[in-house]
Amino acid sequence: MSNNETLVICRCEEITYGQLYATAEEHQCTARELKLRTRAGMGFCGGRTCRVMVDRIIESVIPNTEKGEIPLKIQPPVRPITFGTAGEKND
């Protein structure tokens, strides 16, 4: 196994480059399908960390894929609030 194969791409779900690449090659899947098959991008960060790499893997496996054909988007799991709002007491 090379160093690239053990490189963790999705830290939230602990998915490696090797797992993503093998799944993409085996199933010739879209970015959305790769996400559903491996759970990459479904962790706490909502894909903010690994989305670019997942897109690049799809582009390398399926040669004629353009960026517009990759429908993944970043979806944060919660909406941001300020510390002041979180620390308010409701009596």
Average confidence (pLDDT) per 10 residues, the chain, 91 residues: 82 93 90 88 84 87 67 60 73 57
**Annotated domain spans of the chain:** 3-87
In this predicted structure, what is the pLDDT of residue 52?
86
Q: What is the pLDDT of residue 90?
A: 66
Token couple for 13? 């779900």
Give the pLDDT score at 67.
57
Task: With beta carbons less than 8 A apart as the criterion, state whether 62 and 23 touch.
Answer: no
Q: State the pLDDT at residue 42.
A: 86
Q: Given this model, what pLDDT does residue 75 score?
A: 58
SS3 9: strand
